Amino acid sequence: MSRYDLKKIINLRHQLHKHPEVSNNELNTKKILIDFLANNTSLQIVDKGKWFYAFYLHGGKSKKIAFRADFDAILMDEFLELEYGSINEGVAHKCGHDGHSAILAALAIEVEKIQPNKDVFFVFQHAEETGEGAFNCKEVINEHNIDEVYAFHNTSGIAKNSVMIKNGLMNFASKGMIIELIGIPTHASQPENGINPAVAFSKIIEKIDKLSSSNKYKGLVLATIIQIDVGQEAFGIAASEGKLLLTIRAEDESELNELEREICEFVKRISLDQKLEYKISFKEEFPSTVNHKQSVKKVMNVCNDLGLKMINIAQGMRGSEDFGYYLKETKGALFYVGNGMNYPPLHTKKYDFNDEIIETVLDIFLSLIDYEVI
């Protein structure tokens, strides 16, 4: 029999799942979680607008530990026939953030029960999918001089309840890049009277491919074309403006910055050569998530004591995680807990958070509170 009230935790998870909201619009999600904590704990809750945190204070000169959970959903249909299926059309919890937040709320209940000799902070974060959430929420680390911070993410393709972690780089840095070119419109029969950016875009794409496959970088560097939109569906008018969207990512943030610089310089050069106006902007910027050696050792010690299977990976995960913003401010680590080898992957039609990992994550979190950073 579980030491936790799993029925209560799962009911909360299902309630969150039923009412998903995308990044920066999670007002109802936040309310559900705040109401749950207010009804089940006496912890102090600090509402920060788009996000909030709660905390337990032991007092005195106690060490401070924080745990983070994200609560945004993604733009995707539910697809599954669930009693607790999404009622918000085109939005669903296909990344498992409903499970992350339900577990953190359950941890708050347990912490108040056991009264540990540390101050414990529970950070409920918005907008992980866009990278904005942690950038905002990291302020709690310095505001309260938090000594260490932890988070987990569920993942498929590894054994259920196994734990995957890596010292150093856990997740690549990345950012979305938008390149806009503006020329001069003209009738399609007189292309010489206008300036068409199509050729410039083709040269930019060719340059991007060469840069991302260059052996000049020490680590892996990638540039992925997301969308190309040039001209309009009007066969009498030559294309005169367009937009190219790409995602750039790298193991090393400095090499990501170098790739960005080279792309920007090439866009500027070709725009000048072809008399085009240009604009470059960025969205969804994620830093590298770099786990601290001491914190990784602590997670591994905890998991070994709990008898959990550990999976160490040689290279960081290409997908980005905004938890890296917290790890720039204090010690800590992000780890992954397995849904199962053949469990549906995240962001797919058949995926739903695996409630069978809830107990394992709670065990890890509670044990991390007891352990000291070596």
| pLDDT exceeds 70 at position 116 | yes
**CA 246 – CA 263 distance, rounded (Å):** 11
In single-letter form, the type of residue at position 123 comes to V
- Hey, what are 247's tokens? 């995602």
Dump pLDDT digits (tens) for 172-182.
Answer: 999 999 999 99
- Those residues whose C-beta lies under 8 Å from the C-beta of residue 83, and which sit 6 or more positions away, are 14
Tell me: pLDDT of 373 over 70: no
User: Is the pLDDT reported for residue 263 higher than 70?
Assistant: yes
Specify whether the CB–CB gap between 325 and 287 falls below 8 A.
yes
Percent of the chain with pLDDT over 70: 99
Q: What is the pLDDT of residues 127-169, one digit of tens each?
A: 999 999 999 999 999 999 999 999 999 999 999 999 999 999 9
Q: What confidence score (pLDDT) does residue 122 get?
A: 99
How far apart, in whole angstroms, are the C-alpha atoms of residue 161 and residue 129? 24
Residues paired with residue 334 on neighbouring β-strands, in sequence order: 151
Could you state, in order of their start, the residue ranges of all structural domains in the chain?
6-171+288-370, 173-286
Confidence of residue 218 (pLDDT cuts 50, 70, 90): very high
Segment 43-54 mean pLDDT = 98
The highest-level CATH class for domain 6-171+288-370 is alpha beta
For the cut 80, the answer to whether the pLDDT of residue 286 exceeds it is yes
pLDDT at residue 374 in the model: 52
With 70 as the cut, is the pLDDT of residue 2 above it?
yes
State yes or no: pLDDT of 1 exceeds 60: yes
Beta bridge partners of 66: 121, 149
Is the domain covering 173-286 a CATH 3.30.70.360 domain? Answer: yes
Per DSSP, what are the bridge partners of residue 187? 237
Determine what percent of the chain is predicted with pLDDT higher than 90. Answer: 96
How far is the C-alpha of 56 from the C-alpha of 54, rounded, in Å? 7
- Contact yes or no for 79/93 (Cβ under 8 A): no
Whole-model pTM? 0.96
The pLDDT of residue 372: 76
User: Rounded mean pLDDT of the chain?
Assistant: 97
Instruction: Catalogue the long-range contacts made by 229-235 (C-beta closer than 8 Å, 24 or more residues apart).
Output: 230/197, 230/198, 230/201, 231/196, 231/198, 235/188
Measured distance CA(108)–CA(365) in Å, rounded: 10
Distance of CA 341 to the CA centre of its chain: 22
- Tell me the average pLDDT across 81-95: 98
Comparing CA positions, the residue from 75, 71, 105 lying closest to residue 88 is 75
